[in-house]
């Protein structure tokens, strides 16, 4: 479908700004859920373009569900749950009421986690270590100079910027462990230096700004652009997203669009999921 949209009144009838009023009350979990849904849509769309194929029917129906109700529930809206259940573990993370322990900042890795670690590590070095371990006697496979380097040096994707695996000496007093962990975390943050990413604790003021700057309606119109095969002018986006006098083309270009690019980063989603779990645990205690 290709259609030139020159003014906000020409947008499809499903787009109504008042349908996004719920964003004013979203906290960490709500933003995590809604951003996850849009991120999955965008990833699927990009994959369709890359493979030069039309959008899958299930994706079209899932997008239509969100257009009918932008505050869709990924666990309960059938067209969303049915399409994404076999595709992603995000559905497990989306229910912090039953899975909060697995989403918090520190947890014990499972045997499944341990066995899957090899898929995140440098394949050549992992294979060398398997030979080293399997050697019948010491010296059959020479020690490599990198063997005692931290594990995070060998991750092959961005998982090393959001996770790490460490030993904890439980024979040490708690005060020593806590002090050592603080030092480890300080050093790890310095060495990590992920591009364009700094972990932070999102505040209510952040969430209020996400709502005020039209984050969700902007993402939904960005998805629409993929169907139209052309960009919607910033002027039209501003007229559609902001109430009169509250935003303009410059707001879209300098604030809303950069923010949208930032928050659909998987690291932000992991951060929001952990924060949501923490908030829910704190609520349960009170």
Is 119 within the bounds of a domain?
Answer: no
Q: How would you write the pLDDT of the chain (286 residues) with one tens digit per residue?
A: 446 788 889 999 999 999 999 999 999 889 988 998 898 889 888 888 888 888 888 888 889 999 999 998 876 777 777 776 544 445 555 554 555 555 566 777 778 778 877 888 888 999 999 899 888 777 788 889 999 988 888 888 766 667 788 888 888 899 998 999 888 888 887 776 655 556 678 999 999 999 999 999 999 999 999 887 778 999 999 999 998 778 899 999 999 999 999 888 877 887 888 788 777 766 655 5
**CA dist., res. 234 & res. 251, Å (int):** 9
Q: Give the pLDDT confidence score for residue 159 in this predicted structure.
A: 67
Is 162 within the bounds of a domain?
Answer: no
Is 189 within the bounds of a domain?
Answer: no
**CA dist., res. 253 & res. 250, Å (int):** 5
Domain boundaries, position 265: 8-103+199-285
Q: Give the pLDDT confidence score for residue 23 in this predicted structure.
A: 96
Count structural domains, the chain.
1
Q: Which SS3 state, helix, strand or coil, does residue 121 take?
A: strand
Report the Cα 53 to chain-centroid distance in Å: 25
- pTM, whole model, 2 decimals? 0.72
Q: Give the pLDDT confidence score for residue 67 in this predicted structure.
A: 94
Is 58 within the bounds of a domain?
Answer: yes
Provide the Cα torsion 254, 209, 224, 7; round to 10°.
-70
Is 158 within the bounds of a domain?
Answer: no
Is 108 within the bounds of a domain?
Answer: no
Q: Give the pLDDT confidence score for residue 56 in this predicted structure.
A: 83
Sign of the alpha-carbon dihedral angle for 27, 65, 261, 233: negative
| Helix-helix angle 28-50:215-228, to 10 degrees | 10
């Amino acid at each position: 479908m290709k259609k030139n949209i020159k003014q906000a009144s020409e947008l499809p009838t499903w787009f109504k700004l008042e349908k996004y009023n719920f964003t004013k009350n979203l906290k960490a979990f709500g933003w995590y859920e809604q951003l996850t849904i849009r991120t999955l849509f965008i990833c699927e769309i990009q994959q369709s373009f890359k493979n030069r194929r039309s959008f899958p029917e299930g994706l079209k129906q899932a997008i239509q569900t969100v257009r009918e109700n932008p505050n869709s529930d990924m666990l309960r809206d059938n067209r969303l749950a049915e399409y994404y259940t076999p595709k992603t573990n995000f559905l497990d993370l989306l229910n912090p009421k039953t899975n909060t322990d697995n989403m918090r900042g520190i947890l014990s890795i499972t045997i499944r986690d341990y066995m899957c670690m090899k898929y995140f590590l440098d394949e050549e070095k992992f294979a060398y270590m398997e030979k080293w371990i399997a050697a019948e006697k010491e010296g059959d496979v020479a020690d490599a100079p990198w063997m005692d380097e931290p594990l995070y040096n060998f991750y092959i994707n961005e998982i090393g910027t959001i996770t790490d695996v460490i030993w904890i000496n439980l024979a040490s007093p708690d005060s020593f462990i806590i002090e050592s962990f603080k030092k480890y975390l300080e050093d790890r943050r310095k060495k990590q230096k992920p591009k364009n990413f700094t972990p932070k604790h999102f505040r209510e003021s952040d969430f209020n700004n996400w709502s005020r700057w039209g984050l969700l309606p902007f993402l939904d119109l960005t998805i629409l652009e993929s169907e139209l095969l052309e960009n919607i002018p910033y002027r039209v986006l501003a007229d559609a997203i902001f109430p009169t006098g509250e935003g303009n083309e410059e707001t879209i270009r300098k604030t809303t669009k950069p923010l949208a690019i930032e928050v659909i980063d998987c690291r932000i989603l992991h951060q929001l999921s952990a924060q949501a779990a923490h908030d829910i645990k704190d609520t349960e205690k009170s």
